[in-house]
Structure 1
Amino acid sequence: MVQKFFEYDLDTAAHILESMTEEEAADVLKALPMPLSVRVVKVLQISYAATLLKDADEAFLREMTSHLDPQSATSILMRLPQEARERMTRHLSEKIKGQIRELLEYPEGSIGRTMTTDIIALKMESRAQEAIEKIRSLAKKRFPSSYVYVVDDDNRLVGVLNMRDLMLADPDKTLDEISRKDLFALHCFMDRHEAAGELAKRKFFAAPVVDSENRILGIIKAERMIHGVREDATKDIQRMFGAGGDERVFSTIWFSLKKRLPWLHINLATAFLAAAVVALFEGIIAQLTILAVFLPVVAGQGGNAGAQSLAVVMRGIVMREIPKDKIFQLVLKEGKIGAINGIVIGAVTALVAWLWYGNPYLGVVIGLGMLVNLIFAGLAGASIPLIMKKIGIDPAQSSSIILTTVTDVLGFLAFLGFAVMFQDALIA
């Protein structure tokens, strides 16, 4: 009978379950078939679902975690105490653990690291009377915030409830009709300093935290955030240039050397690679020493253009703005930007070289070399961090070193290659 009731009206059954004591609700959940239990857990208040699973026996917990999707497992894990979290984690597959780590990868210094995930969020189609009863039943156990949020079926934030509006509303009105839509929310990756400023400006003591799809993740309280603000924005910058992300200004000399020397060796090897490319063209450089003058120009422009693409893509990775089906589109876009930049910068450089040396063919050579270099700089700047992420390497870890190698090698190869092609015209 209980099973049929849950199958017939899952939302109502879940609402009744939330009004029971935790012991009674846990017993009912265990009595249901596992696929149905999983469906129930997904529609329960996440904090309440976590409470029911906190003290579950190992067999039930093992079977439940094997059926949960990564998003649901992540939400529950974030609300469990440390001991229960470790118990649940032991039953997760390596694949699910990897997906959960991805979901939990909020940047240090972001409000995602300090938000409170214990919130009350009700479905927009719920009736006013149902909402009042649910809030009363939940308030007996905990009432973490003065705010009650309204969400759609995908947990997207659509409104916030004013308690006065709720109490005075027609009992049959939906929360979508009652809730206030003039929402203020903060993105989970927003820097704490910036978020603190936004709250102070509006004189709010708390605000909802959402992801890029406007799904509510928790709330951030001004008091907690102010106490938690720390200067930690330098970690990724250190990694990009081959210093350890956990290195500090007063780290021991040995610790600093251990973090830096491996990447300096890699940088040295890549520098020799660029030098080897130049060595291939010793003959033409000996005949036209003016070519050596323009080598730093080619390298510098390529490195700067690639760094621009790298910065944009790195931000996209951190903010999770790059869906898998749009990776090729992104790389192609950066290649097109590189081509346009190459045409403009190449034309300017060609004009300077022509006026300087008095030979229009030198302008053609440097212009074409610049065009090719900036196209590959854009492609490399976009693809290098994406490739590193794909193969399981931190994309912030010395991406700039690899990028510099690519732009130097291809830039020198293109510039000096065109010089060989136009050799007769340049020497004449």
Structure 2
Amino acid sequence: MLSEPDATVDQIMLPKPFALPVSMSLSDACKAAVRRHYPIYPVVDAENRLLGQVRGWRLFEQQIIEISAQSGQMVGVQKEERSFTPLFSAFLKRHPWLQLNLLTAFMAAFVVSSFTGTIEKIVALAAFLPVLAGQSGNTGCQALAMTLRGLALGDVDKRPKLHLVMREGALGIANGVLVGLVAAAAMWFYASRQPESAAQAPMLALVILLAMSGSCLMSGISGVLIPLGLRRVGADPAVASAIFLTTVTDIVGMGLMLGLATMLVL
């Protein structure tokens, strides 16, 4: 409508139109179309002969389903499961992941049990174990969510992996220092009011600050390396990453805090 009346078709046509190969996987098609937002995508064979078309909203609908399924897969809920899935079928799909998670929880418990003597002498540390585990775990989940999203959209492969690791590591240490300062102040306040640990309050606050910073740094890095490593060996990062990440954050966080307390306070 905006061209000259005497213009020919070859003057307004696209010389190299974008098309989806018929053999392309659905996930790759979504990645290829994510930045174009065309209403319709032609589908061609190996010789670029038109075979059909795919509407853009159908592609993005599938992409939304895949991305939304990741949050469920991270905690053992399969993407095929719906709210109307039979109860026994849902149980069979979920329960194995809970058993595996229990095994990894025992590993973290073993680390804590190795420092029983330290906890008995510094009871205040026990109150801050869940605080440390929660903060480092959330930091790792943030990095993991961004990495899984990048894998789904193809963003991860567009720049060096080291850049992503350093970015999430920097975010982890920055967040760890800030929340560590708040947690350290809380530890100082709490320990100074306990007769058995009042003299150790400054060192305990330092332990919390160092442990929070180090565990958040490690959590951010692990949130990138774990899904990338699983993809490298052919596993689905969305399915197994969360369990491995929880194990790493718990072991590193609790081990770091109790180890520092043993070295610096006792």
Give your verdict on TM over 0.5.
yes
Distance (Å, rounded) in 2 between the aligned partners of 1:370 and 1:247: 37
The yes-or-no answer on 1:263 pairing with 2:105 is no
> Do residues 355 (structure 1) and 189 (structure 2) align?
yes
Of residues 30, 36, 44, the one that matches 1:106 is: 30
Offset of 1:381 from its aligned partner?
0.9
Using the alignment, how far apart are the partners of 2:83 and 2:138 within structure 1? 27
- Cα deviation, residue 255, structure 1: 1.7
Match for residue 222 of structure 2? 380
Residue 77 of structure 1 is matched in structure 2 by 22
Deviations 1:387-415 (A, max 9, x none): 11111111111422221111111000100
User: Which amino acid in structure 1 is aligned with residue 213 of structure 2?
Assistant: L
Aligned 8 A contact 1:298 1:370 in 2 = yes
Q: Tell me the residue number matched to 2:84.
A: 250
Looking at CA atoms only, which structure, 1 or 2, has the larger radius of gyration?
1
Q: Which residue of 1 aligns with 2:196?
A: none
- Mapped to 2, the partners of 1:307 and 1:295 lie a distance apart of 18
Q: Choose which of 212, 235, 249 in structure 2 pairs with 1:370.
A: 212
Instruction: Write the deviation string for residues 245-278 of structure 1: whole angstroms up to 9, x where unpaired.
Output: 1111222233212211221111000000000000
Change (3 A) 1:246 1:276: same
Question: Counterpart of 2:41 in structure 1: which amino acid?
Answer: T
Deviations 1:89-123 (A, max 9, x none): xxxxxxxxxxx54863638xx899x9643289xxx
Checking the alignment, whether the CA contact within 8 Å between 2:136 and 2:215 is kept in structure 1 is yes
Pair 104,279 (structure 1): closer, same or farther in 2 beyond 3 Å: same
Alignment of 1:110-125 (within 5 A): 116-118=40-42
Q: Quick one: which amino acid aligns to residue 224 of structure 2?
A: A
1:395–1:106 Cα change, 3 Å: farther
CA deviation string 1:119-158 (max 9, x = no partner): 89xxxxxxxxxxxxxxxxxxxx99x9xxxxxxxxxxxxxx
C-alpha distance in structure 2 between counterparts of 1:221 and 1:346, whole Å:
46
Describe the superposition over 1:342-393 as per-residue Cα deviations: whole angstroms up to 9, x where unpaired: 2222122112211221211110111111111011011011111111111111
How far off its partner does 1:298 sit? 0.5
| 1:416 alignment partner in structure 2 | 258
Contact 2:203 2:265 in 1 (8 A): no
1:286 and 2:210 matched: no
- In 2, the alpha carbon distance for the partners of 1:396 and 1:385 equals 7
- Structure 2 distance, partners of 1:242, 1:312, is 19
Partner Cα separation in structure 1 for residue 28 and residue 254 of structure 2: 42
Q: Is the 8 A contact 1:309 1:382 kept in 2?
A: yes
Q: Please tell me whether residue 393 in structure 1 is matched to residue 235 in structure 2.
A: yes
In the aligned structure 2, how far is the partner of 1:301 from the partner of 1:221? 40
CA distance 1:315–1:275, change in 2 (3 Å): same
1:371 and 1:76, CA in 2 relative to 1: closer, same or farther beyond 3 A? closer
Q: Show the 5 A alignment for 1:280-319.
A: 280-319=114-153
Q: 1:338: which partner in 2?
A: 172
Which ranges of structure 1 fall in alignment gaps of 5 or more residues?
1-14, 16-42, 48-74, 79-99, 121-140, 145-217
Separation of aligned partners in 2, 1:291 and 1:46? 60
1:69 corresponds in structure 2 to none
Q: Report 1:216-227 matches (<5 A).
A: 220=55
TM-score normalized with structure 1 length: 0.49
* Distance in 2 separating the partners of 1:275 and 1:46: 55
User: Residue 140 of structure 2 contacts residue 249 of structure 2 at CA under 8 Å; is this kept in 1?
Assistant: yes
Residue identity opposite 1:423 in structure 2: V
Task: Return the TM-score normalized by structure 2.
Answer: 0.77
Q: How many residues align?
A: 236
- Check whether the contact 2:27–2:63 (CA below 8 A) recurs between aligned residues: no
Q: Structure 2 CA distance, aligned partners of 1:250 and 1:76?
A: 35
Which has a greater percent of helix? 2
Structure 1 window deviating more from structure 2 (232-241 vs 333-342): it is 232-241
Task: Report the CA distance between 1:234 and its aligned residue.
Answer: 3.7
Matched residue SS, 1:323 = helix
- Is the alpha carbon distance of 1:405 and 1:46 closer, same or farther for their aligned partners in structure 2, counting shifts above 3 Å? closer
Higher relative contact order (CA 8 A, sep 6+): 2
Contact residue 345 and residue 370 of structure 1 kept, 8 A: yes
Secondary structure of the residue that 1:104 maps to in structure 2? helix
How far, CA to CA, are the matches of 1:402 and 1:229 in structure 2? 28
Paired with 2:103 and 2:182, the residues of 1 have a C-alpha distance of 33
Residue identity (%): 34
Q: Which runs of 4+ in 1 moved over 6 A?
A: 43-47, 228-231
Unaligned runs of 5+ in 2: 1-9, 193-200
Tell me how far apart the structure 2 counterparts of residues 367 and 404 of structure 1 sit (CA, whole Å).
21
